[in-house]
Chain A
């Protein structure tokens, strides 16, 4: 790091994680907003939300239970799609789906 600072004056760099973590959610029951289990995400890292490629249907992601079941406010992820959010905790994310046992995985780096 000191070498980076010496060789790259004026630039900054974000410290990478020492490890990483994940939690998952299975769609059950369907058409219902489900809260994602709590997982703390360190500042500077995003949680990447990954809809498994083996899912049978699209899943919806929202910032509230109401948004997660509203097609006009939720982000819709097709099987295999991902997106990322810089939030502090996964418990502010809600999901819903129409096929039982479809799966979403939430992944982020962390400091051990």
Chain B
């Protein structure tokens, strides 16, 4: 009887070993499928990360929507010029009269125009020219009546000369600038 008992034990051990082998194989085959699942999972993770990234970008977009670069990205084909942060003026009073007077230097940034305004309070016309001889020559100078204005896209007001026939008449030069 002990022999039968030993045989039964041996069979039981054999079955256990076979079961363990099968379990091991199953878990092995399962683990071989796992990477596929992991890949899918990682793909899903990447996708969700991309979604988060695009959400972050949208948030940044709304924060930077006022920048020119963002304007260009959002409006392909359109252009936009940056506005000035502030503006500036210089003035000239006619003193002495009938004399070419240079205008104090004021830099006009590229892209902006210089506005030249003859005061509406002036008593006489103002002459504008590009040198001292032109500005006292009514056949070559530009004449501004009181209150009249015109614009020029030049780099500096020092390129302009003025003259007038009425003492203390004034002309003002204005342009935008970057602070």
Contact = CB atoms under 8 A, between A and B. Distances in A.
A14 B80 contact: yes
A55 interface: no
Contacts of B68: 43
B131 to A, nearest CB: 23
23 contacts: A1-B78, A5-B77, A12-B77, A12-B79, A43-B68, A43-B71, A43-B81, A44-B81, A45-B83, A58-B121, A63-B86, A63-B89, A70-B91, A72-B172, A73-B91, A75-B172, A76-B172, A78-B120, A83-B115, A85-B174, A85-B176, A92-B87, A93-B87
Contacts of B19: none
B20 interface: no
Interface in B12-67: 66
Interface of B: 66, 68, 71, 75-93, 112, 115, 117, 119-121, 147, 149, 170, 172, 174, 176
B79 A63 contact: no
A5 B71 CA distance: 17
Contacts of A43: 68, 71, 80-83
Contacts of B112: 86
Nearest to A1: B77
Kindly list the 7 A-B residue pairs having the minimum CB-CB distance in the complex, ordered from nearest.
A72-B91, A44-B80, A12-B79, A15-B78, A92-B86, A63-B87, A5-B77
A92 B85 contact: yes
A63 B88 contact: yes
A102 B176 CA distance: 25
A74 interface: yes
Given A86-B112, A86-B176, A76 B80 contact: no
A13 B87 contact: no
B3 to A, nearest CB: 95
A23 interface: no
B172 A14 contact: no
* Chain A CB within 10 Å, residue with most, of B81, B87, B117, B121: B87
A1 B72 CA distance: 13
A26 B166 CA distance: 33
B81 A2 contact: no
A71 interface: yes
Contacts of A2: 77
